[in-house]
Amino acid sequence: MNILLLGSGGREHALAWKLAQSPACDTLFAAPGNPGIAQHGQLVDLAATDHAAVLAFCSEHAIGLVVIGPEAPLVDGLADSLRGAGVPVFGPSRVAAQLEGSKGFTKDLCRRANIPTAGYARVTNKAEAQAALAPFGLPVVIKADGLAAGKGVIIAMTHAEAEAAIEDMFSGSFGDAGAEVVIEEFMTGEEASFFALTDGTSILPLGSAQDHKRVGDGDTGPNTGGMGAYSPARVLTPALEAQVIEEIIRPTVAAMAAEGMPYSGVLYAGLMLTPTGPKLIEYNARFGDPECQVLMMRLEDDLVALLLAVAQGRLAELGSVTLSADPALTIVMAANGYPGTPEKGGAIAGISEAEATGAKVFHAGTALADGELVANGGRVLNVTAKGPSVQAAQAAAYAALDAVTFPSGFYRRDIGWREVEREGGA
Ligand code: AMP
Ligand code: GLY
């Protein structure tokens, strides 16, 4: 079967790497892809925003499965266009992708389905926001409702900070994403991510991971898209995982189906493990980046078979997902300037030397300039390794990273620190 993968980051490189390993995959096409993805498939110049062009490409190249990597095309309804034309697609419809596209939508769904999450208020103007703010304690969390590339969340320590954040959002700093605002109760605990495949009815747990959102060592500095991750997140014990499935994932999938918005794809739950149990922070309608890289590193099953079963509503036919018992860990190498304006064009070398150690280096933001590999984004490479413990995976990933030369980049030196500490290693 021919497969079309949409996206260009490290998440998509990891997906391409696994998709291409499947005996069911004839030609893998990727749009726009990146130089790492080009090792596994053919890059095509196709804009995900041009639904007619994507449909024409699918019919011309007999595409049997489209895999949508990032959130923007999902929220834009690309999966609906493909499904409407009878093309199997991995990714939720526009209305189902509201689970990521509108924080207020998700909070209301949680309220209706009795899903544990932070208390909240939805507001559409400053006066409403000021009135709604009063009952919340401090800190209080202020969120732009729509997609804001991970930047639309302010944790305000004072009411003045909260009012400034509200002012900022309603004055258009986040564009349309800030036209509506959600005010949330602040939750405490450790964060973990949980991933489940669902075809709208059946659910197949995929595994857990923990991201590192702050740019600096010791979880300091501004938020990023994620500077590194490991899987599994053992802080989500089997008992807690079962609780997450029963109290959060299952009621969400059931409510979406009952309300005529069946959710088909991967459901990524950002969780806070609070003293009173796991609570939903937010949903994403796609794989996490870089969490996908560690999940793919551990996945022992045929990814095409899994994603196709989701796309065709046949997930019930599959028993379970097999992940390696060995943890995986990935370190993001970012370009200087990230998460602000990253320096572009910096030279990169040593990837084959790094991979000779047994690690896998996923390309997240690279390009070829005159045949040389250079940085072309904020997050540039994801150096990923497995080991019998998180500590061993961490040591293997950093040893591989030492073989990479990227003078205009930086990385965190402590990815996995919480789990390494729990393993008694640091
Ligand atoms: P989000 O973009 O919704 O994932 O939020 C970004 C980060 O803000 C999360 O990973 C949490 O660290 C933090 N956060 C969001 N909502 C809350 C909340 N209600 N309580 C505490 N922290 C939160
Ligand atoms: N790593 C966080 C995300 O993909 O949203």
Q: Could you identify the atom of ligand 1 that is nearest to the CA of residue 148?
A: 2
Q: In a 10 Å sphere around its CB, with 0-12 CB exposed, 13-18 middle and 19+ buried, how is residue 319 labelled?
A: exposed
Sign of CA dihedral 403, 289, 250, 74: negative
Distance, CA 127 to ligand 2 centroid (Å)? 32
Beta strands 360-363; 120-123: pairing state: unpaired
Q: Ligand nearest 224 Cα, by number?
A: 2
Give the pLDDT score at 126. 87
3-state secondary structure of 391: helix
Residues in the chain: 426
- DSSP lists the bridge partners of residue 58 as none
Q: Which ligand is nearest to the CA of 153?
A: 1
Alpha helices in 178-275 (DSSP H): 238-244, 250-258
pLDDT at residue number 215: 97
CA-to-CA dists, residue 47 to 120, 205, 285, angstroms: 37, 32, 20
Residues linked to residue 426 through DSSP beta bridges, in sequence order: none
Could you tell me the distance, in angstroms and rounded to a whole number, from the CA of residue 192 to the centre of ligand 2?
11
Whether the upstream peptide bond of residue 32 has omega within 30° of 0, thus cis, is: yes
> What's the gap in Å between 340 CA and the centre of ligand 1?
20
Q: What local confidence, expressed as pLDDT, does residue 291 receive?
A: 98
Of 151, 211, 332, 338, the one to substitute when testing ligand 2's pocket (max ligand atoms within 8 A of C-beta) is 211
| Cβ burial 286-307 (10 Å sphere, 16+ → b, else e) | bbbbbbbbbbbbbbebbbbebb
* Pairing mode, strands 190-198 and 203-211: antiparallel
Asked whether the beta carbons of 416 and 211 are under 8 A apart, the reply is: no
For the whole prediction, is pTM greater than 0.75? yes
For a ligand 1 pocket test, name from 153, 279, 291 the mutation site with the most ligand atoms within 8 angstroms of its C-beta: 153
Listed as ranges, residues in the chain with pLDDT below 50 are none
Place of tokens 């590192």: 212
Measuring from each residue's beta carbon to the nearest atom of ligand 1, which residues come in under 6 Å?
118, 141, 150, 153, 184, 186-187, 191, 213, 270, 281-282
For residue 205, the Cα-to-chain-centroid distance in whole angstroms is 16
